[in-house]
């Protein structure tokens, strides 16, 4: 009988032990089963060592990914700051351009009214 990856260790051990005892395999009854227990303990120890290595490896990966996420956050904040500055400068330029155009418009309007006023003063004598 094969044990699955998700079976509990003790359950797996007893299933294997029953199979060994009932079939008479493994060097004769109980002594064969005890040998199986030793193999199971060794495989358990190997599995524990593998899992400890995997845990350490995963911790390293998590630490590296954390550093990458921190750098990405820093880069994003810097980019957002640059974007806000560019937006502010662009709005300032648009408002300055708009104000300049208004000043030019009113200067031309003033010149036109001054010409009309001068012309009206000249014509004032003609209409009397």
- Those residues of the chain that have pLDDT short of 50 are 1, 25-26
**Tokens standing for residue 27:** 């060097």
Dump the DSSP string for 4-25.
PTTS-HHHHHHHHHHHHHHHTT
| Residue 42, pLDDT score | 82
Whole-angstrom distance between the N-terminal and C-terminal Cα of the chain? 128
Secondary structure class of 103 (helix, strand, coil) = helix
- Model confidence pTM above 0.85: no
Backbone angles phi, psi at 2, to 5 degrees: -95, 145
Query: Residue 13: CB partners within 8 Å, gap ≥ 6?
Result: 36, 37, 40
Using only C-alpha atoms, what is the Rg of the chain?
Answer: 45
| Residue 5, pLDDT score | 54
């Amino acid at each position: 009988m094969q044990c699955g990856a998700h079976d509990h260790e003790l359950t797996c051990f007893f299933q294997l032990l029953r199979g060994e005892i009932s079939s008479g395999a493994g060097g004769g009854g109980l002594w064969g089963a005890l040998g199986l227990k030793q193999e199971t303990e060794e495989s358990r120890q190997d599995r524990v060592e593998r899992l400890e290595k995997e845990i350490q490896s995963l911790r390293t990966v998590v630490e590296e990914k954390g550093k990458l996420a921190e750098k990405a956050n820093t880069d994003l904040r810097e980019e957002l700051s640059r974007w806000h500055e560019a937006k502010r400068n662009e709005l300032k330029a648009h408002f300055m351009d708009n104000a300049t155009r208004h000043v030019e418009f009113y200067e031309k309007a003033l010149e036109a009214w001054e010409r009309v006023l001068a012309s009206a003063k000249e014509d004032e004598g003609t209409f009397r």
